[in-house]
Amino acid sequence: MPEAWVRIRGLRYARGEQVIFEGVDMDIPRGRLTAIMGPSGTGKTTLLRLIGGQLHADAGTVEVAGENVAALRSKALYRLRKRMGMLFQNGALLTDLSVFDNVAFPLREHTRLPERMIRDLVLMKLHAVGLRGARELMPAQLSGGMARRVALARAIALDPQMVLFDEPFTGQDPISLGVLVSLLRSLTDALGLTSVVVSHDVQESLSIADYVYVISEGRVVEHGTPEALRQSTSPWVQQFLQGQSDGPVPFHYPAPDYRADLLADDRP
Amino acid sequence: MMDFLQRLGATALGVTERIGRGHLFLLYVLGGFPGLLPRFGLVIKQIYASGVLSLLIIAVSGLFVGMVLALQGYNTLVDFGATESLGVVVALSLVRELGPVVGALLFAGRAGSALTAEIGLMKATEQLSAMEMMAVNPLHRVVAPRLLGGIIAMPLLAAILSAVGIIGGYLVAVGLLGVDEGAFWSQMQAKVDLFDDVASGVIKSVVFGFVVTWIALFEGYDAVPTSEGVSRATTRTVVHASLAVLALNFILTALMFGDD
Amino acid sequence: MMQSRGVQIWVGLLVIAGMAALLMLAMKVSNIRVFSAENGYAVSANFENIGGLKVRSPVTMAGVVVGRVSEIGFDSEIYEAVVTMNIDPRYDNLPEDTSASIFTSGLLGEQYIGLEAGGAESYLHDGDRIQLTQSAIVLEKLIGQFLVSQADK
């Protein structure tokens, strides 16, 4: 297994009273596609923001490319961020710019390339996601899947070493889902990207990931290759992978005994 | 009773915190001003969004305000046989007070609310967050040009409102009420001073443009990133910006025209 | 960043309209022809009482504004007001024995200084003092004198 590009040790993060992570250790290998899975509300997006330096851990360290993200001053943090891309759940395209200008945005902000070269680069990135013909459209005219692909083109515009994907598969029809899944895999391989996919779509994630972390209730429950995970003996992991409605995670929210509840005398 | 005191304390703390946040926000935004010079196109776009798009409402309001001033002023002045001073009344009211103040109130309603909604929606749709992850500071790239655009647009709008208002007053006074045209303009020129009146009106409108845009941008940036939060922030912008303009107007007027 | 031409044209129009409005306020509405201290010459005069005269009040001759009051001081030895006027350099031929009076425009209007030319051959220069002055008429004083004279009858 290659060296770790992102190294998380003893991570603790709480939002007010609510503890989101408690003692999380994670190694994200370089040049591979790592999936981080878990039920909704386990703070998967928060984890990406911790890696990107938008949030700071209460305890423990998050190291990216050997640098402790929380300790970086804003200049160094921005330099590090130029080496990562992030794909937000809804694309987060800038609504007042066209598709072309959205992809050109990081190039224009961070380079002094002549406009002709920017045009070539943008068309190459748009071609890679199959949307070269849609360059004149505004974000409001795009479907959800197209917006995500434009955002992907934007995320790789500066040729980053790592791309973070926040729930790339949710709410997609089967065709755009298939497009996104194969794009993720092929871009990771073609560009040698370190990809981190946060998702709760089990089948899609398992089908493309090289390595998988499953988190729940602020801890890493299980990790390994997709095959290893499928063989896992943990009933919780099996319930999550199979999508069973009842199991270690009960169908019912904790409640008093059903019979006693119905017969209780506190009815108005 | 304790409960009440506790809530009072919590509210006071919350207000103090917001004031602090608002000023820190301003500090960071002002830090982005030097970077705007080589990219003035960004500011021009914002002058268009907040200035040009407010032009129509400003000009129409100015016309009506001037016309009403002439009508009302005439009714009062005619009792003293001083209707030739009508030009002075209209011009001084507009240049000193109504141009900057009415202009700023309209600006808060038209451009301020739009700014808050725009920034709030950019926050809600993670556009600001995405910019941060692209190593672009949204305070410099998004907020600073809007603030500078507002500061530039507001005095232009206020001057247009005053000028159009004076023309409106002229139309009513000379055309409708039969005030002597020569007296209307010459009395005005004799009493309105370029520095005391016109320049202080311009200074007022620069200050108002700054404060209204600042409040609007901060409310948007500080909004709860949901559609409900953004709509509430938009309302707050109009209320707070209008109050700030009226209160500041009193202070500025006292400073500029107080010791005469 | 590319700008659409429409945006640039509109912003240009806004700036032109704003500047035109400011220009109108400056030229048509206000008295831009104020004399700054540098290009006029200063003449002073002592008055027993200046009434409601203020800095920037007009100084007229035969009804024409020839200057403005630039400074109002107080001479603590003779207990009189010292008014310094800034006279437009175009009017550099005021006789030395010109007299200055403080008048009121209309019954309740603001006060101004009216100059009346004398017959001397030499002219007033920068820093000169006008000798002949007449103070402001204070309405209360006038009424008081009138009442006293009525009582004497």
Residue A108 has pLDDT above 60, yes or no: yes
A92–B127 C-beta distance less than 8 A: yes
Determine the pLDDT at residue A222.
Answer: 85
Any domain includes B13: no
C25, C55, C111, best to mutate vs chain B, most B CBs in 10 Å: C25
Residue C1 has pLDDT above 50, yes or no: no
Strand residue runs (E) in A53-208: 59-64, 67-68, 84-87, 162-166, 194-199
Nearest-by-CA chain C residue for B189: C30
Confidence of residue C35 (pLDDT cuts 50, 70, 90): very low
**Among candidates B121, B127, B136 on the partner chain, residue whose Cβ is nearest the Cβ of A109:** B136
Residue A54 has pLDDT above 70, yes or no: yes
Nearest-by-CA chain B residue for A89: B126
Residue C34 has pLDDT above 80, yes or no: no
User: Which chains would you list as touching B if contact means 3+ CB atom pairs under 8 Å?
Assistant: A, C
Match 């002023």 to its residue by tokens. B73
Domain residues of chain C, as ranges?
A: 1-32, 41-143
User: Which chains would you list as touching C if contact means 3+ CB atom pairs under 8 Å?
Assistant: B
Measured in angstroms, the CA of B177 and the nearest CA of chain C are apart by 20
Confidence of residue A268 (pLDDT cuts 50, 70, 90): low
A92–B141 C-beta distance less than 8 A: no
Tokens of A166: 């926040």
A95–B127 C-beta distance less than 8 A: yes
A interface with B, Cβ–Cβ below 8 Å:
52, 54, 78-79, 81-82, 84-86, 88-90, 92-95, 105-106, 109-110, 151, 154, 158, 164
Determine the pLDDT at residue C107.
Answer: 61
Determine the pLDDT at residue A103.
Answer: 93
Instruction: Determine contact: B129 vs chain A, CB below 8 A.
Output: yes
**Among candidates B121, B126, B133 on the partner chain, residue whose Cβ is nearest the Cβ of A90:** B126
Any domain includes B201: yes
Distance in angstroms (rounded) separating the CA atoms of residues A200 and A30:
22
C1, C16, C22, best to mutate vs chain B, most B CBs in 10 Å: C22
The predicted-structure confidence for C59-112, as pLDDT tens digits, reads as follows 888 888 888 888 888 988 888 889 998 888 888 888 888 889 888 876 666 788
Listed as ranges, residues in chain B with pLDDT below 50 are none
Determine the pLDDT at residue A267.
Answer: 58
**Among candidates C24, C32, C34 on the partner chain, residue whose Cβ is nearest the Cβ of B163:** C24
Chain B hits for C30, Cβ within 8 Å = 95, 189, 192-194, 197-198
Determine the pLDDT at residue C38.
Answer: 57
A88, A107, A142, best to mutate vs chain B, most B CBs in 10 Å: A88
Structural domain count, chain B: 1
Distance in angstroms (rounded) separating the CA atoms of residues A235 and A250:
12
Distance in angstroms (rounded) separating the CA atoms of residues A37 and B229:
30
DSSP class of A26 = E
Any domain includes B51: no
Provide, for chain C, the percentages of residues in helix, strand and coil under a 3-state DSSP scheme, each rounded to the nearest 5: 25, 35, 40
Chain B hits for C5, Cβ within 8 Å = none
Per DSSP bridges, beta strands A194-199 and A162-166 are parallel
Distance in angstroms (rounded) separating the CA atoms of residues C95 and C115:
11
Distance in angstroms (rounded) separating the CA atoms of residues C22 and B103:
15
B133–A81 C-beta distance less than 8 A: yes
Q: C152 versus B130: which is more confidently predicted? A: B130
**Among candidates C2, C31, C58 on the partner chain, residue whose Cβ is nearest the Cβ of B192:** C31
Determine the pLDDT at residue B105.
Answer: 96
Determine the pLDDT at residue B63.
Answer: 95
Domain residues of chain A, as ranges?
A: 1-81+200-268
Confidence of residue A66 (pLDDT cuts 50, 70, 90): confident
Chain B hits for A79, Cβ within 8 Å = 135
Residue A230 has pLDDT above 90, yes or no: no
**Among candidates B126, B136, B141 on the partner chain, residue whose Cβ is nearest the Cβ of A92:** B126
Measured in angstroms, the CA of B147 and the nearest CA of chain C are apart by 16
Q: Which CATH architecture has domain A1-81+200-268?
A: 3-Layer(aba) Sandwich (3.40)
Any domain includes B50: no
Per DSSP bridges, beta strands A211-216 and A33-37 are parallel
Report whether A231 contacts A63 (CB < 8 A): no
**Among candidates B122, B127, B129 on the partner chain, residue whose Cβ is nearest the Cβ of A54:** B129
* Residue A246: other Cβ atoms inside 10 A: 9
Measured in angstroms, the CA of A247 and the nearest CA of chain B are apart by 35
Any domain includes B101: yes
B135–A110 C-beta distance less than 8 A: yes
* Helix intervals (H) in A82-143: 99-110, 115-128
* B53, B194, C22 from C19: Cα distances, Å: 17, 15, 5
The predicted-structure confidence for A3-16, as pLDDT tens digits, reads as follows 788 899 988 888 88
Chain B hits for A90, Cβ within 8 Å = 125-126
Distance in angstroms (rounded) separating the CA atoms of residues B19 and B24:
9
Measured in angstroms, the CA of B59 and the nearest CA of chain C are apart by 11
Mean pLDDT of chain A: 87
The H or E element that residue C130 is part of is strand C128-130
Dihedrals phi, psi of A13, to nearest 5 degrees: -145, 130
DSSP class of A21 = E
Determine the pLDDT at residue B164.
Answer: 95
Chain B hits for C36, Cβ within 8 Å = none
Residue A1 has pLDDT above 70, yes or no: no
**Among candidates A90, A106, A110 on the partner chain, residue whose Cβ is nearest the Cβ of B125:** A90
Any domain includes B70: yes
A86–B130 C-beta distance less than 8 A: yes
B193–C17 C-beta distance less than 8 A: no
